[in-house]
Amino acid sequence: MIERDTPQYRQVSFGLALGAFIVFCNLYLFQPILPHMAEVYQLSETKVNWLFAASTLALSVTLVPWAICSEAFGRRKIMMIGLLTLPLLGFILLLHPTWWILVTARALTGVAIAAFASVAVAYMVEEFSPQAFQAAIGGYIAANSLGGICGRILGGNLTDLFNWETAVAVVSVLSIAGVLYVYFRLPPQQHFTPRKGQFLQHQRSVLMHLRQRKLWLAMLFGGANFALFVNLYTVMGFRLVSAPYSIPVGFASLIFICYLGGTLSSRLASRWLRHHNTVTGLIAGTCLSLSGMWLAMIESLPMIIIALICISSGAFFSHTLAYAWVSQHAKQAKATATALYLVHYYLGGSLGGFFLIACWQYGGWHTVVAGGTVIYLFLLTLCWRLKEFDTYQAQQHTNSI
């Protein structure tokens, strides 16, 4: 097993973090320019959301198939297929397709991203010692955050300065450089042997994970958490480019710097895992994110920035804890378990966008807050149920002693 603070640990953890940076840079490239694309293609806010939702929706439904493939063909091979495909799809977007062909290409981008995202954490769990994994998972989630920040800021500002095609071209070229580094530096697994011809067994593993309520509740938590987090930012983008703010798209995309709060909190979550209860952390992260959404009701740019930092910090803190919970509590077929978590995560992100954007169109930010509060109450209910499982397991352990 790879131990913490060794040269191999640094090489592997950096390679996986760079891969995560690349995929999330590509995934979120179009999110800040949705208002611009709505204007270019003369579409409603709900319809233009398909440009972002197509990627996350396709990502969510292909995670498990890719995870099953990784059980048969190996984790690294599947991850590299996804990474190598991303820049190719980026260049296809530059062929000036019609709207629905553009949406289809973005959906295929989600499929490619799923190949990496579905198995990266399983690779870490199987290759790292428990202590090394707890340290590395925070860095991996932080790379997700940084990739999302850079993709959004590049997308918004390059579109503002030039056009959306330039933004796609620049990110695709940068992706090629990063993918080549990961290809040559990420080693094959040493503690996992692919097993072919076990498709039915993997299907049973999916059902087994869904029947474990302590896993499924954490998966539901991840989906609802992401539905709020990513789409509150989307709605905020529409809010800032509209009156009374009327901020240019490039400048509005700078709100995603607030994701750095999530980058920091995901690292802090790794420390929390080593010293505190996971469910307590989920509650704390949810309450912090909820307070940020309420704070954003104040019509002031400085307060909106503070609010977004709170939303990011709480959401990423909770996501890191829930993700690690599923990875560590799955007794077998860990790639399938983490993929199922991400299915819920990105499915929530896809569906949550249409819900919160509809709230925005119906009644502005106050209606968004009302709809979002309902989902936050659902998150706290899930925390309460997970706490019951935690208490029950502790009692069983005490009785066995």
The pLDDT, as a whole number, for residue 199 is: 59
**Mean per-residue pLDDT of the chain:** 89
The residue count of the chain comes to 401
**Are 90 and 23 contacting, i.e. CB atoms less than 8 angstroms apart?**
no
144-167 average pLDDT score:
92
**Are 125 and 337 contacting, i.e. CB atoms less than 8 angstroms apart?**
no
Short-list 128, 117, 156, CA closest to 29: 156
3-state helix, strand, coil in the chain (%, to 5): 85, 0, 15
Tell me the two tokens of residue 378.
């659902």
Separation CA 315–CA 223 (nearest Å): 11
Helix (H, G, I), strand (E, B) or coil at 42: coil
182-196 average pLDDT score:
82
pLDDT digits (tens, 9 = 90+) for 102-144: 999 999 999 999 999 888 988 998 899 888 988 888 788 888 8
The pLDDT, as a whole number, for residue 197 is: 58
The pLDDT, as a whole number, for residue 317 is: 94
Residue 378 has pLDDT above 80, yes or no: yes
Domains of the chain: 7-400 (1.20.1250.20)
Phi and psi of 172, rounded to 5°? -65, -40
27-32 average pLDDT score:
94
Supply the pTM of this predicted model: 0.84
pLDDT digits (tens, 9 = 90+) for 214-271: 888 999 999 999 999 999 999 999 999 998 999 999 999 999 999 888 888 988 887 8
